[in-house]
Amino acid sequence: MNPDQMRDASLMELFQLETRTQVQVLNDGLLALEQDPTSAPRLEGCMRAAHSLKGAARIVDLYPAVRIAHAMEDCLAAAQEGRTRLQAADIDALLMGADLLQRVATPGVTLDVEIDDLVARLSGAPDAPPAPPPRAPRPSDFLPPIVRLEDEPPAVAPEPAPASAAAAPTPSRRSSDRGLGEGERVLRVTAGTLNKLLGLSSETLVESHWIGPFSASMLHLRRMQAGAARALDSVRAALAEQQLDARSQEALDDAQRIVDQCQRELTERASEVDEFGWRMSHLARRLYDTALACRMRPFGDALNGMARMVRDLGRSLGKQVRLEVEGEDTQVDRDILEKLDAPLMHLLRNAVDHGIEMPQARIDAGKPPEGVIRLSARHAAGMLLIELADDGGGISLDGLRVEVVERKLTNAETAARLTEPELLEFLFLSGFSTRDEVTEISGRGVGLDVVQTMARQLRGAVRIHQQAGEGTRFVLEMPLSLSVVRSLLVEVQGEIYAFPLAYVSHALQVRAQDIEQLEGHQHFRFMGRQIGLVSARQILRAGEPAPAAEALPVVVVGDHERSYGIAVDRYVGERTLVVQPLDPRLGKVQDVMAGSLMDDGTPLLILDVEDMLVSVQKLVEGGSLARVEGGGGATQARRRKRVLVVDDSLTVRELERKLLLNRGFDVAVAVDGMDGWNMLRNEAFDLVVTDVDMPRMDGIELVSRIKADPRLQGLPVMVVSYKDREEDRRRGLDAGADYYLAKGSFHDDALLDAVEDLIGRART
């Protein structure tokens, strides 16, 4: 809330805002006190929060809130002074008080009976009613009250907590303040403004790449100028034996001087352009990264109330459960963060209800009576990984097989052959539940399908891992931001399209002889399954069918239930693309999610894979699926594909050269990155295989130069290195490499299979 809104807001609205903050402080502090009832910092923080709310309630004449806060303060003071030790029932009562404080701040709410009961419980009165068993909590119980202020813009981050909360120890710090340094200001900026800033910065990043072609043209001009200088030298040599008059000699000398001066000027200007291009590109990248960071918020901002929900739900079921969180400061795109609340709530409720056993059962199994659910977030290989694991009993695979058969989802014979990952996929089906009876918490089969739907909407995926008797682990893999998407670029009828990698199962080359005709449709066998084959040209209505070929580049998309191989014309490579929404006036474009720009400014379309699967299903059901051609007359006039091997090791160069030659490829070699770069500018290749650590120019710089050159950026590049660490692999792929192969696991088939995956067989 900005200063003007603070002045205009009523005192009651300000009290509601403060209540929201201080109740979160109380929830966090009380959950921590349940683990360590004598923690002085936690007791002090809760005391401050209750005291602040009591004073604020007096100012707005809200005496029911004064009674609640005063009773809580007395109970906490007794614990601080050592006159009592907080028990589970006391924590229950104090948490109930926090809930009542939040409810009583809503106008028109009367809670006299509940307040009387709470005050009696906190005061330890002998006739106080016993604590009612906690009901199964609902997600809405933990949402903060909504205070609507006219014309308040959306927030990037809320304002810092009031001084009373800021003075409290760690649990009182508002989650939205994570990551802020001392003295840093927090401002409110509209989401629209941030999106415009990100869009402009991405355009700047694209425009900065135009310096590269300009620099290349200046280099070409320098070569022409050098040719002119050599031609002039030849003229001077030819005239050296002739006696020239003074005027002719002076003109020849002037021409030589002008040519030399132009050569020097061109050399200097070309160097300046290169330097400017590097600085511009670096600055544009920093601008984009900073604009993108403005959209990010700490993962902990999505967790308000979840620890409390886990604790209360466990108690309502007679279980002891604790939530542990790691990576609260992990930065997440705000649009993703807003969509995580419901899926995480479903997973947590499932973990408490289905995963964690009753205390006695845990003791009998040799476990502590208290179950632990661990929720963590981290960045890995350009993706956001969220893991939720419990130490419960795991999933009974035998029971799951029986349930699948009883629901007639498959027959007993097929169910017996299903692998563990295939079997666990059934848990994501809508309406599927392993519960025999419906309760307030579960049994309706709603939950995991919501999680999977959310992951797909965010261009991500969710996986289950379990170990009987030791627990279950869910892994959500999503992009770091919805503003960018890591994509597989392909060419279809001369146009570039992008498949979001989250939807791509595999990218492979399918040989013509491996394509089968089954029930009127084309299939190929892959990983023990029959995959339907369809043409990208037909789905995208991109003109005539593709000509016949010995091998087809195929992108496998979909899930276990329905997956198809989309035949494209060729692979272009992987790119991180800035998502550019289409003009709203176009409405929903079939099979298209958004647009983007390549580094050279070339526009492309990002495909909506879910929509494409629907289109394929319609073609199949309508019997209008076109045939994908393979083999035939295309085998005539074939040429050998050329591969450039760049490595400073003679042994490695020779090994890779012989392997590729034996497979039928035409191979050239370069001794380092600079040598390879010079060869690439003068000769045509189908693939570059490069080492990383080399003199003069290393492999990462070589990859960056290739991908920045409009003429070469579509050239596939494979990095082969002894370094197999995750950061080295990510560094190579971030530079634009299409494949990273570690020499530590290097063997003949690995290299050759990778080459054929990228560019197909040796002859076209």
Domains in the chain: ranges and CATH? 3-177 (1.20.120.160), 205-294 (1.20.58), 298-479 (3.30.565.10), 484-635 (2.40.50.180), 642-759 (3.40.50.2300)
Nearest CA-CA partner of 478 in 578, 389, 334, 379: 379
Amino acid of residue 194: L
- Cα 543 from chain centre: 34
Q: What is the pLDDT of residues 287-311, one digit of tens each?
A: 888 887 787 888 888 887 788 889 8
In the predicted model, is pLDDT for residue 444 greater than 70? no
Hey, is 233 helix, strand or coil?
helix
Q: What is the pLDDT of residues 474-487, one digit of tens each?
A: 998 887 777 777 78
Between 261 and 618, whose confidence is greater? 261
**CA atoms of 474 and 747, how far apart (whole Å):** 34
**CA atoms of 309 and 300, how far apart (whole Å):** 15
**CA atoms of 526 and 305, how far apart (whole Å):** 46
Report phi then psi at 532, rounded to 5: -65, 140
Contacts of 135 (CB under 8 A, 6+ apart): 316, 440
How confident is residue 644, by pLDDT bands cut at 50, 70 and 90? very high
Report phi then psi at 7, rounded to 5: -70, -35
Contacts of 372 (CB under 8 A, 6+ apart): 321, 322, 324, 390, 391
- What residue has token string 């923080």? 45
Distances (CA, A) of 161 to 204, 405, 522, 620, 671: 37, 55, 62, 58, 61
Q: Are 312 and 135 in contact (CB under 8 A)?
A: no
Q: Are 728 and 721 in contact (CB under 8 A)?
A: yes
Q: What is the dihedral of CA 440, 442, 443, 447, to 10 degrees?
A: 130
**CA atoms of 541 and 720, how far apart (whole Å):** 38
Q: Are 572 and 707 in contact (CB under 8 A)?
A: no
**CA atoms of 343 and 451, how far apart (whole Å):** 5
Q: 7-11, 128-132, 355-359, 404-408 — which one is most confidently predicted on average? A: 355-359
Q: Are 375 and 324 in contact (CB under 8 A)?
A: yes
- 133, two tokens: 């068993």
Q: What is the pLDDT of residues 495-521, one digit of tens each?
A: 899 998 878 888 889 888 888 776 667
Element (H, E) at 566: strand 563-567
**CA atoms of 144 and 20, how far apart (whole Å):** 6
In the predicted model, is pLDDT for residue 753 greater than 70? yes
Report phi then psi at 99, rounded to 5: -65, -45
**CA atoms of 707 and 690, how far apart (whole Å):** 14
Report phi then psi at 325, rounded to 5: -120, 135
How confident is residue 632, by pLDDT bands cut at 50, 70 and 90? very low
Q: What percent of the chain has a predicted confidence (pLDDT) above 90?
A: 9
End-to-end, the C-alpha distance of the chain in Å comes to 65
In the predicted model, is pLDDT for residue 402 greater than 80? yes
pTM above 0.75, yes or no: no
Q: What percent of the chain has a predicted confidence (pLDDT) above 70?
A: 83
- What residue has token string 């923690």? 39
Angle at 670 between CA 664 and CA 676, to 5 degrees: 110
Which pLDDT value is given to residue 630?
A: 62
- 725, two tokens: 């660490």
Q: How many other C-beta atoms lie within 10 A of the C-beta of residue 172? A: 26
How confident is residue 265, by pLDDT bands cut at 50, 70 and 90? confident
In the predicted model, is pLDDT for residue 138 greater than 70? no
- Cα 447 from chain centre: 22
In the predicted model, is pLDDT for residue 36 greater than 80? yes
How many helices, marked H, and strands, marked E, lie in the chain? 24, 23
